[in-house]
Structure 1
Amino acid sequence: MTHLQFNLDMDLLKESVMNSNIDAVVRSAIVLVLNEFMEKERDDFLNAAAYERSAERRDYRNGFYDRELTMSIGKLKLKVPRTRNGEFSTSVFEKYARCDQALVLSMLEMVINGVSTRKVTHIVEQLCGESISKSFVSSLTQKLDPIVNDWAKRPLNVMYFPYVFVDAMYIKVREHHRVVSKAVYIATAISEKNKREILGLSVDHVENYESWSQFFQQLKSRGLQSPNLVISDAHLGLQKAIQREFIGTSWQRCNVHFKRNIIETIPKKDSEEFRVMLKRVFEAVTIEDIRKFKDELMTRFSEDNKYEKALGILDEGFEDTIQYMNFPEKIRSH
């Protein structure tokens, strides 16, 4: 196996990593994998590596041409190898469609967990449908490692993040020949320039106080300062971890989760008036109006047993959910 040459725009990659543009990081990694796989295909077609003298050579290299590949994460510009006689044709553009989702999810998992030889093998085998050499996987892994690690370990003390959102999602992972559920912790922030940025991700077996605390400690070890406001759902372990790790920080119950909790308890039919009034509550501009609209909603449906649970949730979590009203109006929509 020959040494693989990577055609990667390092300035663009560095900018993407430093700006925590996770989509760009994943896209760069996918472009790297696809370009190197196509180069390997050309080597196999020619029966000769670059600059290699061989009696078995079928043809000669003739540079590359650019071609776009549309995937679920957008358009990728690939460098497609070509040969002098034009007989070589890559299989990438025929095969990518059936593994598009698996490829993107694998790359995202790599960003979260770090690059492993097993994961790269899985990605490329999804792409080409056949076994690949260990040397090829090893070479890819060495080049992907910095892309993932530089993003995941970048310092967070270069700017202040006044507003931080934290949430967990659950994914199915094959581990030791079993499929298990794992929690992916995600922290997103809004900078003082109102720019949204992903701070970090982490995977754990459970969602509890200890695991959330460890995640926050990792972010703080990279320089994250206590924000003005942390927004999350009402998970008790998460709330406790926020209070413990970010002294002096206000907590807001996530507006989206809160409204979903309320809507889930009301009838699907004949509830349009309730939904409209609830929407009006959280579209209010002043603190006086938001409390007024909430009281009007409570009064309007207080005698209707169908909305008893919804009103209970609204009343209990209302003050925690409107903490954003204590901040400038221009930032509230974020």
Structure 2
Amino acid sequence: MPVHKKHHNTPESPTTRVSISPADVLSQESFHQHLRELIRGATRVVMEEIMQEELSLFLGAEWGESTSQRRGYRNGSYTRDLVTTSGRIEDLNVPRDREGQFHTQAFERYSRYEPQVAEALTEMFVSGSSTHKIGKVANTLLGVAPAPAV
């Protein structure tokens, strides 16, 4: 007896190949660049809020608040650049007190790199990678190449 073949109701379509034009690649790259900028902006806002809260706890009072527990006064802020895992954050506002005693825990004093970034760069250097290769990798991932002395 002959075996009947199954008939499919859906038409068979040839395998379609998705081709990406250079314009699509550029728009995708610009999208990712925009996304990285948004992440850096959000990181900046969160870090600045955390540092303001740290200063409030350090001083024992919120901005403009008079309490008997107050241990000092605010004295504006200074700006600094910080390289994070999200990339370089420029002109980060770091609050300060009048006595100069407040130091944030968000990053180490005088450090320009987030601790995780500095540790990763050090590990690459210790493992035998050249400073040139480390600079290329850091520039690709973070958008900034460290100085050879870092």
Structure 1 length-normalised TM = 0.23
Give the TM-score normalised by structure 2: 0.50
Structure number with greater CO (CA < 8 Å, separation at least 6) is 2
